[in-house]
Amino acid sequence: MIAFRKQLLILFAAGWVSTAGANETCLVSAQSDLERMYCEIVERGGGAGLPSMVDFKRNDPKVQALLLRQPAKRLSLTLPEVAARPEPKPKPERKPEAPTPQREFAKESVSEPPIAQGLADCRLSGELIQCPNAAYKLAGNRSLASLENGVLEPGNRLGIEPFDGVRNDDEAVRGYLSAAYDRYIPKMLAIGLGANTMSFTAFHNAFHTLESGGVDFSERMDQTYELLKQDRKTLGVKARYHDELPENLAQCVTIDRSIIVCDNVGTNWVFVGTK
């Protein structure tokens, strides 16, 4: 998500912001600069609205930074640089059995990798995917001025439905996450964050991490989307954060007739149909 956003440093001339006065119990359990910042904010009375430390630890560092941004700003604290956790590689035999389009977890490149149905006649050329009847251009982040009217207002919600199945039912989970991801990607594009999307693998991992910790996945995703909308009103974003591109179309699947998503597990790319 944003800076994901800006990679702000917590460094001053004398080094890291001191957490000497923070709650000792909290600090003992803190394992990262963001978690230590959480302790500092709570100690200074700015923790209203923050989750418990246990729930806070369950979030990706990017989401942790997002949760701390406003409380830190109110206390004139600067967030540390966000270092994303490495995404575990999915087991090769596990494939989501989603309805059209068929989606598989990203895998490491192998010789002559299979290409998803519907992309066999397409050609990947840098930031462009050219198909017989359509062309798709790599989507970056967009400026605030370029967004459609109303997309940052309360009426535009992510709106992922809660999961009502059994979490150890792999088929039900895969079908649910496929539909949820197909909604998530266009919604991120709508608020101009095409370069800040999660891979399907990360989406899948987030679901299990949150749900196993007793946190409703759909609710947490909705909350994060609302925070991103608020940030978009005041914070600028880079169009892209790196120059890396997909290696081949075996890393890509179609979301709908106008969107193709590619990923190599660690990096996600969204291509949007040109008009």
Report residue 45 as tokens.
Answer: 């009375």
Buried b (16+ CB within 10 A) or exposed e, 74-108: eeebebbebeeeebeebeeeeebebeebebbbbbe
Asked whether 196 and 2 are in contact (CB, 8 A), the reply is yes
Task: Output the pLDDT for position 114.
Answer: 76
Percent of the chain that is helix, strand, coil (3-state, to 5): 35, 10, 55
Which of 182, 272, 197 lies closest to 240 in space, CA to CA? Answer: 197
Q: 64: part of which helix (H) or strand (E)?
A: helix 61-74
- Joined tokens for residue 9: 């440093």
Rounded-to-integer distance, Cα 140 and Cα 217, Å: 26
**Per-residue confidence (pLDDT) for residue 229, from 0 to 100:** 93
The whole-number pLDDT of residue 18 equals: 30
What are the residues facing 169 on neighbouring strands? none
**pLDDT at position 70:** 85
Q: Write the CA distances from 81 to 64, 68, 119, 172, 230, integer angstroms.
A: 11, 12, 38, 37, 21
What pLDDT sits at residue 28? Answer: 54
**pLDDT for 173:** 94
Q: Which of 261, 266, 205, 259 is nearest to 241 (CA)?
A: 266
> Taking the model in full, what pTM does it have?
0.64
Distance CA 122, CA 260 (A): 11
Instruction: For the chain, list residues with pLDDT below 70.
Output: 1-25, 27-29, 83-113
